[in-house]
A and B are shown apart, each in its own frame.
Chain A
Amino acid sequence: MPTLETEVLVVGGGSTGAGVARDAAMRGFATILVERGDLATGTTGRFHGLLHSGGRYAVKDPVAARECVVENPILRRTAADCIEDTGGLFVSTRWDDPGFGDDFLRGCQATGIPVEEVPVAEVLRREPRLDQGITRAFAVPDANLDPWKLVSACTRSATEYGARILPYHRVLGLEVSDDKVVGARVHNEVAGDELEIRAELVINAAGAWAGQIANLAGCVVTVLPGKGIMIAMNHRLVNTVINRCKPPSDGDIIVPIRTVSVIGTTDVRVADPDELEVTPGEIDEMLDEGEKLVPGFREARALRVWAGARPLYTPDDVTDTRDVSRTHTVLDHAKRDGVEGFITITGGKTTTFRLMAEHAVDTACEKLGVNRRCRTHEEPLPGSEEERFYWLGARVRAQEPVPNSEEIICECELITRRQLTEAIARGRPAGLDDVRRRVRLAMGPCQGGFCIYRATGILHEFEHLDHQAANSALLDFLQERWKGVQPILHGDQLRQARLDDWIFQGLLAVEHLPE
C-alpha cells in the first residue's frame, strides 16, 4: 500500500476542514487534508449562505452571537471576495409578536451586535416586495457567503503554504497503536486504490460525520445531525438578508445570494447525515413562510430544493436539536478518552469556521509541543487581497461593452467557454457536478437544460474522455439535478422541465446512449 507521511492529517473538506488545513499549513505544519467527495460537498456546500451578524442568536444563544460579532468583521476583511455585503434586516411581520423586537434589541446590545431600528416606510422603499404589514424592522450586518469560493480559497491558500489537498479520498479506518492514532487508511474513490497516511496528529473535521470518524478510533462522540431544507427561488425577491424577528423557527430567513434567493430552513433530528429526505410537507411549509415575508412567493419560480445536516455536538441527551448551542467544541481525545494524537472539532457554523480552525490548531500546537501564532485573522484569502466584496453584477459587467463576443456556455449564470475550461483545468473534476460548484454551471433557471450537453462536449474534448465516460458524466449530472428539481416541480419550473425533457429524451435520447 502506498504511504504518505505528514504531521497533521485533516479529515473532512468542508469549511472547518479547509480552515484547519490552511491554519495548520500557515503555522508551518506539514498538512494533508482528505475529503471523501469533492470539496464542500458536505454540509458546507448545502448551507443557507448566511454570514451571520449574530442577530439570529442574540436572544437565545449569546455565546454563539458573540462569536459571530467577532468573526463577521474578520471575514469581511479576509474573505471579501466570498462575501456580498447585502446587509440584513430583522422584520416583525403581522404574524410575529412586535414585543420580541425589544428582546431582540436588548440581546443585540448585550452581545455587541451593531443594530439599528429602521422606519418601516424606509424598509419598504428598500425592499418593495416585503409584506406591507410589517410593524418593525432592525438593520444588522448580515451578508451572504459563498461556500464554494470560501473553501476553494482556503484550500488554495493551504496549498500555497505546502499542504496537500486530497478530494475523493475517503477515510476507511484509523490506525491506532498503543492508544495513539498514528494514521489513516484511505480509499481513493476515483482511482479505486487504497493508501495509508501516517500522521503525528489527526484532526477530525468531519462535521455531521465526526461521530463516525471518532468511532474509528474507538471514541464515542454524539453528533446529532439536524436536517434543514432550503429552496432556491429563481431570482432575487429581496436584496437584503431578511430574518423574521421572532425566536428561531422554520422558514424564517431569506438569503439573497448570487442570482437567487434562498428560503430556509428547518431543523429535524435525523439518524444518518447521508439520508436527508425532503418531504412535500416541508416544502409547503417553506413556501407558506415565504409568502408571509414576500407576498406572491408561492407563485414565484422555485429552482431546486436541497437539505443539509447540522453538526450538533451534544454532550448530554438533548432531544430538540434547536436547543443545542451553535458554538463549537474542540475535543482532545487524549484527555477525554485516553486516545493520543487525535482531535475532533465539531459543531459551530460556517460564519465561525476560522475561529473553529484557530481553536483546533491551537490545541494541535499544544499537543505537538510548539507555540506558533495564528495569523488567519490577518492574512486575506487568495482573491480577497483587495478587500473588495463580491458584486452580483460582475459577470454581466465582464461581458461589456460587447457581450457575446466570447462564447457563452451557461446562459443563465453567464459562464464563458474560457471560464469553464479554466475551471476544469483547476483540478480534474470527477464529474460535471464538480464543475457546477466551481463556476455555478447549470445553477440558473434552466438547471442545465441548455448548458449541460455543451459542457459535456467541452469536458469530453478537454479531458480526452472516451464516449462512455462522457455519456455517464452527462447522465450522472442529469440524475443528480433531477433529485433537486423533482420535489418542487410546479408552475414555471415544471414548464422548463418539460422543455428540458424534450431536449434530453426527445432530441438526444439520453436513455438510449451506448454504455
Chain B
Amino acid sequence: MTEFVRDSLDHCVKCTICESFCPYSQATPLFPGPKYVGPQAERFRRTGVSPDISVDYCSGCGICTQVCPQGVKIAEINSQARAQLWEERGIPLRNQLIARPSVLGRLGTPVAPLANWTLRNRVLRRIGERALGIHRDAALPRFAGRTFQRWARKHVSPAAERTVVYFHACGTNYYEPSVGQMTVEVLEHNGFHVVVPPQDCCGLPLQSNGNFPAARAYVRRLAANLAPYAREGCAIVSNSTSCGLMLKREAREILDVEDEDVAVVSEAMYDLCEFLFLLHERGELRTDFAPLELTVPYHAPCQQQGHGIGKPALDLFALVPGLQAIELDADCCGIAGTYGLKKEKYEISMTVGERLFSQLRESNGDVAACDSETCRWQIEHGAGIHAVHPIEVLHRAYGLGH
C-alpha cells in the first residue's frame, strides 16, 4: 500500500493544477507546493536519508489529492515523506504532545478549570511557546470537565430495529461532549439503537506529526473495538471528519496497515452527515423539522472533502424550512489539525485562513457550521463567530433541544 501511494507519482503529467490550489504554498515561500514536494521530490527520496525538510510545511489538508485530475496521491506521498523525516530526526516533544489528544484529555479533564485557565493565561502561553513551540495565540480548545463516554455509559439507548455504532473520537469526548449527545439523540430520533463502544484515539494526530508506528498501534486498537459490530453489518458513524477518514481510508493508504479489523471497519464507516443524507435518499430520514430562521454560513473542511461525498450537510440544511445556508468556497481554515498550533506555522495558518475568515465576517451569519472540531476552534479564533457542527443545527430543527 505504501508502494501504491508512491507509485501514483507515475500518473503526474506536470499540469500544475495542484500547485494552483494548495493554500499553503500560496501563504509561505517556505513551502514549495504539492507538485514539487509530492511527485517530483519523491523521485529523489527513499535512499535512507531525507533530502528535504520543506515537506514539513505541507499541512496534509489533502486539497491537492482531491484536485489532481490524474489521481496522484500527493498529500499521502507528503505524509509518508514527513514520517520518514521525523523517523530520522526524532520527533520533537511538542509534536509528541499535541499528537496525543486522548492522553491530554485524560490529564486535563479532571482538572478542567485549572487546565483551561492555564491554556488561556498569557504569561503561561508565552512560556509554552518558548518551551514547547506552541504558538501563544493559537486556538486551543476548552476541556469540558466531563467526558462524553461518561454520559454515554449512563445513557440508555432505546431498543430499536436498527442499530448504529457511534465513533465519537477525542474532540467530542474531552472538549465537546454535547455534540456527541446531540448526535446520539438525532440518530435515536430516526429510529436507531445507538451503541457507543469504548474507544481511544484513532492515531490521526500521530500520523500527521510523522509518528507512524504509534499511529498504527492506535488505529489497530480502535479498529479491534469497532470490528465486531462491523462484522454484524452495523454501520459506524462519526461526526469527526478527519478521524472518520482515518478509519475509512488513511490507515490503509497512508499508514499501510494491513489488518482485517481495519479493513471491515473502513467499509462500515460513514461520516455523520453522509449517513443521514443517505437515509434521506432512501426515504428513511425523518423530516419533521421545525422552521429555523437562521443564516448559517457553512465551511466544508478539507478532511470532510477528502471523503469524496460532496457536502451532505448542505443537502440536509436544505430540508429545514427557513434555514438560510450559505456555502463558502474558501478551501481551508488553516489549522489542519495541529499545524496551526505550531510556533513556526501559526502565521502561515492565519494567512491561509484569512479568506475563510473574511467570507465568514461578510456573511453576517447567526452561527457558522463546520463538520470538524479543530476547524471550528480556528474559525472562532480567526473570524470571531460562533461555530457549530451541522448536527447541532439539525438537533435544534428537530426540536430536540434541551
Q: Is A393 in contact with B45, judged by CB distance below 8 angstroms?
A: yes
Q: Is B7 in contact with A391, judged by CB distance below 8 angstroms?
A: no
Q: Is A239 in contact with B44, judged by CB distance below 8 angstroms?
A: no
Q: Is B47 in contact with A392, judged by CB distance below 8 angstroms?
A: yes
The size class of the interface chain A forms with chain B is 35 or more
Q: Mark A389-400, 1 if CB is under 8 A from B, else 0.
A: 001111111011
Q: Which residues of B contact A394 (CB under 8 A)?
A: 51
Q: Which residues of B contact A396 (CB under 8 A)?
A: 41, 44-45, 51-52
Residue of B nearest to A260 (CB): B43
| Minimum Cβ distance to chain B for residue A504 (Å) | 14
A395 to B9, CA, bound (A): 18
Q: Which residues of B contact A402 (CB under 8 A)?
A: 29-30, 54
Q: Is A236 in contact with B13, judged by CB distance below 8 angstroms?
A: no
Residue of B nearest to A395 (CB): B44
A68 to B54, CA, bound (A): 41
With an 8 A cutoff between CB atoms, is A301 at the interface? Answer: yes
A259 to B32, CA, bound (A): 20
Q: Is B14 in contact with A450, judged by CB distance below 8 angstroms?
A: yes
With an 8 A cutoff between CB atoms, is B131 at the interface? Answer: no
B3 in complex: contacting residue of A129, A393, A495, CB < 8 Å: A129
Q: Is B47 in contact with A239, judged by CB distance below 8 angstroms?
A: yes
Q: Is B47 in contact with A492, judged by CB distance below 8 angstroms?
A: no
Q: Which residues of A contact B2 (CB under 8 A)?
A: 128
| Minimum Cβ distance to chain B for residue A413 (Å) | 9
Q: Which residues of A contact B293 (CB under 8 A)?
A: none
Q: Mark A263-301, 1 if CB is under 8 A from B, else 0.
A: 000000000000000000000000000000000100011
B10 in complex: contacting residue of A392, A393, A403, A492, CB < 8 Å: A492
Query: In chain A, residues 229-273, which have Cβ atoms closer than 8 Å to a Cβ of chain B?
Result: 234-236, 239, 259-260
A403 in complex: contacting residue of B11, B12, B15, B52, CB < 8 Å: B52
Q: Is A495 in contact with B43, judged by CB distance below 8 angstroms?
A: no
Knowing A400-B51, A401-B30, A404-B32, say if A414 contacts B44 (CB, 8 Å): yes
| Minimum Cβ distance to chain A for residue B78 (Å) | 13
Q: Is A499 in contact with B36, judged by CB distance below 8 angstroms?
A: no
Residue of B nearest to A445 (CB): B12
A400 in complex: contacting residue of B7, B45, B52, CB < 8 Å: B52
> Which of A234, A235, A402, A496 has the most CB atoms of chain B within a 10 A radius of its CB?
A235
Residue of B nearest to A408 (CB): B36
Number of residues of chain B lying within 8 A (CB) of chain A: 33
Query: In chain A, residues 50-91, which have Cβ atoms closer than 8 Å to a Cβ of chain B?
Result: none
Q: Is B14 in contact with A449, judged by CB distance below 8 angstroms?
A: yes
> Which of B3, B13, B53 has the most CB atoms of chain A within a 10 A radius of its CB?
B13
Q: Mark A114-157, 1 if CB is under 8 A from B, else 0.
A: 00000000000000110000000000000000000000000000
Q: Mark B24-58, 1 if CB is under 8 A from A, else 0.
A: 00000110110110011111111101111110000
B7 in complex: contacting residue of A300, A401, A499, CB < 8 Å: A300
A21 to B56, CA, bound (A): 48
| Minimum Cβ distance to chain B for residue A389 (Å) | 11
| Minimum Cβ distance to chain B for residue A81 (Å) | 16
Q: Is B43 in contact with A444, judged by CB distance below 8 angstroms?
A: yes
Q: Which residues of B contact A239 (CB under 8 A)?
A: 46-47
A238 to B53, CA, bound (A): 23
Query: In chain A, residues 28-61, which have Cβ atoms closer than 8 Å to a Cβ of chain B?
Result: none
With an 8 A cutoff between CB atoms, is A405 at the interface? Answer: yes
A81 to B146, CA, bound (A): 62
A495 in complex: contacting residue of B50, B52, B54, B70, CB < 8 Å: B70
A496 to B9, CA, bound (A): 13
Q: Is B54 in contact with A235, judged by CB distance below 8 angstroms?
A: no
Residue of B nearest to A300 (CB): B10
Q: Is B44 in contact with A492, judged by CB distance below 8 angstroms?
A: no
A411 in complex: contacting residue of B14, B49, B52, B54, CB < 8 Å: B14
Q: Is B47 in contact with A393, judged by CB distance below 8 angstroms?
A: yes
A401 in complex: contacting residue of B6, B12, B47, B53, CB < 8 Å: B53
Q: Which residues of A contact B40 (CB under 8 A)?
A: 411-412, 414
Knowing A236-B43, A412-B40, say if A446 contacts B13 (CB, 8 Å): yes
Q: Which residues of A contact B53 (CB under 8 A)?
A: 400-401
Q: Is A235 in contact with B35, judged by CB distance below 8 angstroms?
A: no
Q: Which residues of A contact B29 (CB under 8 A)?
A: 402, 404-405
Q: Which residues of B contact A234 (CB under 8 A)?
A: 9-10, 43
A258 to B134, CA, bound (A): 39
Q: Is A446 in contact with B54, judged by CB distance below 8 angstroms?
A: no
> Which of A236, A393, A402 has the most CB atoms of chain B within a 10 A radius of its CB?
A393
A502 to B221, CA, bound (A): 51
Q: Is B46 in contact with A492, judged by CB distance below 8 angstroms?
A: no
Q: Is A496 in contact with B13, judged by CB distance below 8 angstroms?
A: yes
A377 to B46, CA, bound (A): 32
Q: Is B3 in contact with A499, judged by CB distance below 8 angstroms?
A: no
Residue of B nearest to A301 (CB): B10
| Minimum Cβ distance to chain A for residue B39 (Å) | 8
| Minimum Cβ distance to chain A for residue B43 (Å) | 4
Q: Which residues of B contact A392 (CB under 8 A)?
A: 44-45, 47, 51
Residue of A nearest to B2 (CB): A128
A300 to B47, CA, bound (A): 20
Q: Is B44 in contact with A259, judged by CB distance below 8 angstroms?
A: yes
Q: Which residues of A contact B15 (CB under 8 A)?
A: 499
A399 to B11, CA, bound (A): 24
Q: Is A391 in contact with B47, judged by CB distance below 8 angstroms?
A: yes
Q: Which residues of A contact B52 (CB under 8 A)?
A: 393, 396-397, 399-400, 403
Q: Which residues of B contact A129 (CB under 8 A)?
A: 3
Q: Is A403 in contact with B3, judged by CB distance below 8 angstroms?
A: no
A400 to B42, CA, bound (A): 15
Residue of B nearest to A497 (CB): B13
Residue of A nearest to B256 (CB): A128
Knowing A411-B36, A412-B40, A492-B10, say if A236 contacts B3 (CB, 8 Å): no
B13 in complex: contacting residue of A391, A399, A499, CB < 8 Å: A499
A367 to B44, CA, bound (A): 49
B11 in complex: contacting residue of A236, A412, A414, A492, CB < 8 Å: A492
A391 to B49, CA, bound (A): 9
Q: Mark A362-392, 1 if CB is under 8 A from B, else 0.
A: 0000000000000000000000000000011
A interface, CB within 8 angstroms of B: 128-129, 234-236, 239, 259-260, 296, 300-301, 391-397, 399-405, 411-412, 414, 444-446, 449-450, 492, 495-496, 499
Known: A402-B54, A492-B13. 18 other contacts (CB 8 A): A128-B2, A235-B42, A235-B43, A239-B46, A296-B3, A296-B7, A391-B49, A395-B44, A400-B53, A401-B54, A404-B36, A411-B14, A411-B35, A412-B40, A445-B12, A445-B39, A495-B70, A496-B14
B interface, CB within 8 angstroms of A: 2-3, 6-7, 9-15, 29-30, 32-33, 35-36, 39-47, 49-54, 70
12 contacts between A and B (CB under 8 A): A235-B10, A239-B46, A392-B44, A395-B44, A396-B44, A396-B45, A399-B52, A400-B54, A401-B30, A412-B43, A445-B13, A492-B10
**Shortest 10 CB-CB distances between A and B: which pairs?**
A393-B51, A301-B10, A396-B51, A403-B32, A259-B43, A397-B51, A396-B44, A404-B32, A235-B43, A446-B14
